[in-house]
Amino acid sequence: MCGIIGCVGVSGAAGALIKGLKGLEYRGYDSGGIGVLGKNGLGVVKAVGEIKNLENKLRSGAPEGSLGIGHTRWATHGAASKANAHPQLSRRFAVVHNGIIENAAELKESLLMSGFSFTSETDTEVIPKLLELNYTGSALEAIKKTLPLLKGSYALGIICTEEPDALYCAKNGSPLLVGRGAGGCFICSDPAPLSEFASEAAVLEDGEAARLTKSGAEFYGADFSPMEKPLRSLGKAGGISEKNGFEHFMLKEIYEQPAAVAATLESVTDENGIRLPDIGLSSEDFRRLSRIYLVGCGSAYHAALMAKYFFEKTALIPCFAEYAGEFRYESPVLDESCLVVIISQSGETADSLAALKLARERGAKTLSVVNVEQSSVARMSGGRLLTLAGTETAVATTKAFTCQCVMLDMLCLHAALCRGAISPVFAKIAVDMCLRLPQKIERILEAHDEIQSLADELKSAELCFFLGRNADYAAALEGALKLKEISYINCIGCAASELKHGTISLIEEGTPCIGLIGSRAAAPKTLSNIREVITRGARATLLAPEGLERELSRHARVIPYPDTIPLFAPLLEAVPLQLLAYYTAKEKGLPIDKPRNLAKSVTVE
């Protein structure tokens, strides 16, 4: 994971680096570090933990200079310590790195034999040492000789103390942009923080490298021959998000959902119903599809699983929801009759990107549902549907998830129409129902008292169950992930039907169980499973559409949510579950926006 930034020609480089690192902190917050080259030489400052710790350290004296690199780390090799923070150094070189050098152990062994010593446990440290070994008077030549020795993924920012006016960068597998702004030139892992400094940028492709000076950038192709690469306007990259009065980004983003979902729906509908942008797939293509794979990680996988039920029921097409990290190492039978849809907020998740590459190699049609327009997934997929959630900063995804759900719903209705599985009248009614979801989410957000009191009960729980059937099962998985991710409570999302095949043995007196009931039709079966856990002492709460409270409250506490058609109910269920996770973590006094061990964007496999 990790985020990197660099600048050249920027007076007070340290300040710009810190600003950029704050915008990259979602990529990891185990440690931060900067290296600035100025008239006093290379100044390196590192701190363990969040970027604010680094910022505090700099208050007592920041290194001066206009050339610098910065790093925020999610530890892969070596603990979150100062020694393992970046930049990693050799005599002349300072390097920041996002990615994993898979052959670091072998490289380190041979470097040790060549007389180098190491001060960190990182895989990265081999890079400055190799650069040193390969240096014969030109940093560019040293980089050219070093890169082919590295196996694995990297986005690199490199400073050589012999060249105080040049910033170098290279990319393979991890994202990197080169930008130019009024003050100088920049590199950055993400367009949003880059847009704070640069008005135009180019996305580096795998194998490419660049040399940046105050006045511009020179690019090099895979064989290190110079190449032309135009810089384009960065457009609306989102910028660095602010809390705007909310205590946490997560709460702000939960409350942004009505607007985000409405904007996403508006982008794919008009007065006649669904109006998708050109996704490179004709009606005939949809008719000819033999199956659809919906692929993502974490919450994006849950959105995929929810949509799978929708696609099979409505578009009458075999559909599989897959974890990207599993899919890429399975042997999926893919050909041009398959559509692989990659779902990702960041568009930089390593496993999702690898799944996309696999699908392309195997000749499948590809489409992405993605929130970051300039991301690798968006750029590499055959077609793309952009969710308009805006910048999401909290590690726990909320608005991006619900936007993925509605986008997949619209894609499903479009596919169903193309395949003649539903009538235009049915599609129009479904779209109209979907367009009412933002108001319904608003109503859920207004009525958060009951959720808060449930959170108060949950804060002391050690185990919590989320139960549902079919698409409600997907919502159960999402509810469980959200709660465990930020409250550190052991949560199990379980298909209600599966409980008595083993898992029910975990139920004890007082175990909290949250049952999800998406519709009147689903109620009897799920309720019967809930009664089984109540019989064994569980403390049950049901999330159910309005209108069912009277009937259900004879069995358990009911938290109602606005009624909709069953297909959209799981999306609405996700919202109170987000609030539940938020308030529980808040009751426990935990770092909600940056839970331990996590990063927002998982750019390593």
* Active-site residue list: 2, 600
Widest CA span in the chain: 81
User: What's phi and psi for 86, nearest 5 deg?
Assistant: -100, 160
3-state SS string for 441-468: HHHHHHCCHHHHHHHHHHCCCCEEEEEE
Q: Which of residues 482-511 bind ligand M6R (CB under 6 A)?
A: 485
Binding mask 300-319 for ligand M6R (x = CB under 6 A): x-------------------
Q: CB 83: neighbour CB atoms within 10 A?
A: 16
| Closer residue to ligand M6R in complex, CB, 98/601 | 601
- Nearest-CB residue to ligand M6R? 298
- Identify which range of 252-260, 341-349, 382-390, 445-453 contacts ligand M6R by CB under 6 A: 341-349
CB of 294 to ligand M6R, least distance (A): 13
| Closer residue to ligand M6R in complex, CB, 127/572 | 572
- Identify which range of 97-105, 226-234, 273-281, 344-352 contacts ligand M6R by CB under 6 A: 344-352
| Closer residue to ligand M6R in complex, CB, 386/395 | 395
| Closer residue to ligand M6R in complex, CB, 365/399 | 399
420 sits in the region (left: phi over 0; alpha: psi -120 to 50; else beta) called: left
Closest CA to 237 of 323, 170, 177, 286: 177
Q: Which residue of 72, 352, 366, 511 would you call a contact of ligand M6R, by CB under 6 A?
A: 352
- Identify which range of 287-295, 342-350, 357-365, 382-390 contacts ligand M6R by CB under 6 A: 342-350
CA angle 336, 342, 344 (to 5 degrees): 170
- Identify which range of 156-164, 219-227, 298-306, 518-526 contacts ligand M6R by CB under 6 A: 298-306
Q: Which residues pair with 216 in a beta bridge?
A: 213
| Closer residue to ligand M6R in complex, CB, 426/488 | 488
569 binds ligand M6R (CB under 6 A): no
Q: Around 98, how many Cα atoms within 13 Å sit in the side-chain half-sphere?
A: 37
CB of 582 to ligand M6R, least distance (A): 12
Q: How many residues bind ligand M6R, per CB under 6 A? A: 16
| Closer residue to ligand M6R in complex, CB, 564/601 | 601
Cα-Cα-Cα-Cα dihedral sign, residues 477, 478, 479, 483: positive
Pairing status of strand 177-180 against strand 200-203 = antiparallel
Scan for tokens 């020795």, then name that residue. 149
Q: CB 543: neighbour CB atoms within 10 A?
A: 28
CB of 352 to ligand M6R, least distance (A): 5
What are 391's two structure tokens? 């910048």
Q: Which residue of 174, 195, 257, 345 would you call a contact of ligand M6R, by CB under 6 A?
A: 345
Q: Which residue of 127, 601, 603, 604 would you call a contact of ligand M6R, by CB under 6 A?
A: 601
Cα-Cα-Cα-Cα dihedral sign, residues 574, 576, 579, 580: negative
| Closer residue to ligand M6R in complex, CB, 172/352 | 352
Q: Which of residues 358-397 bind ligand M6R (CB under 6 A)?
A: 395-397
| Closer residue to ligand M6R in complex, CB, 9/479 | 479
Q: Which residue of 548, 602, 603, 604 would you call a contact of ligand M6R, by CB under 6 A?
A: 602
- Identify which range of 51-59, 150-158, 209-217, 339-347 contacts ligand M6R by CB under 6 A: 339-347
Q: Which of residues 393-412 bind ligand M6R (CB under 6 A)?
A: 395-397
Closest CA to 281 of 340, 344, 321, 332: 340
CB of 489 to ligand M6R, least distance (A): 15
Q: Which of residues 238-297 bind ligand M6R (CB under 6 A)?
A: 297
Q: Which residue of 122, 146, 299, 374 would you call a contact of ligand M6R, by CB under 6 A?
A: 299
CB of 225 to ligand M6R, least distance (A): 34
Q: Which residues pair with 101 in a beta bridge?
A: 152
The alpha helices in 436-568, defined as continuous H runs, are 437-446, 449-458, 471-487, 523-535, 549-552
Element containing residue 491 per DSSP (H, E) = strand 490-495
CB of 140 to ligand M6R, least distance (A): 34
Q: Which residue of 174, 195, 344, 529 would you call a contact of ligand M6R, by CB under 6 A?
A: 344
Pairing status of strand 269-270 against strand 232-233 = unpaired
CA angle 559, 561, 563 (to 5 degrees): 140
Cα-Cα-Cα-Cα dihedral sign, residues 529, 534, 537, 539: positive
CA distance 259 to 94: 44
The gap between the terminal CA atoms of the chain, to the nearest Å, is 9
| Closer residue to ligand M6R in complex, CB, 184/298 | 298
298 binds ligand M6R (CB under 6 A): yes
**What is the residue type of 400?**
A
Element containing residue 558 per DSSP (H, E) = strand 557-561
Contact residues for ligand M6R, defined by CB under 6 A: 297-300, 344-346, 349, 352, 395-397, 481, 485, 601-602
